[in-house]
Amino acid sequence: QVQLQESGPGLVKPSETLSLTCAVSGYSISSGYYWGWIRQPPGKGLEWIGRIYHSGSTYYNPSLKSRVTISVDTSKKQFSLNLRSVTAADTAVYFCARERESAYALWGQGILVTVSS
């Protein structure tokens, strides 16, 4: 059974970098699929952040592109999100998910990250 699990700090200070990791179990990242990050501010809708292929190819939301880096470590069976220079507007539940043809059938449970001093 394939499972995804997000981990990282639940509180980040303004102007710092938000760093999250998604651990993949039950499937080898290097076998295929895109692996993505999606976020949801409290009480609001879903926002696509970006995706990475096992080869390392990345695609980002243009509105976040200047601050986002997604990376993959196939040996550790995980992929990561770094979001720089965060503000309160980056407070959200962050989900990692597995993508096939732009559809996300498999999601992590999500992790709430609050940006506050």
Partner 1 sequence: QSALTQPASESGSPGQPITISCTGTSSDVGGYNYVSWYQQHPGKAPKLMIYDVSNRPSGVSNRFSGSKSGNTASLTISGLQAEDEADYYCSSYTSSNTVVFGGGTKLTVL
The binding site for partner 1 (CB under 8 A) comprises 36, 38, 45-48, 50-51, 59-63, 95, 99-105, 107-110
Q: How far is the CB of 73 from partner 1 (least distance, A)?
A: 23
Q: How far is the CB of 64 from partner 1 (least distance, A)?
A: 10
Which amino acid is located at 41 in the chain? P
Closest CA to 36 of 92, 100, 87, 112: 100
8 backbone dihedrals φ, ψ, rounded to 5°: 150, 180
Contact 14, 116 (CB under 8 A): yes
Q: How far is the CB of 19 from partner 1 (least distance, A)?
A: 21
Structure tokens at 94: 């962050």
Q: In this complex, which beta carbon is closest to partner 1, that of residue 33 or of residue 60?
A: 60
Q: In this complex, which beta carbon is closest to partner 1, that of residue 16 or of residue 106?
A: 106
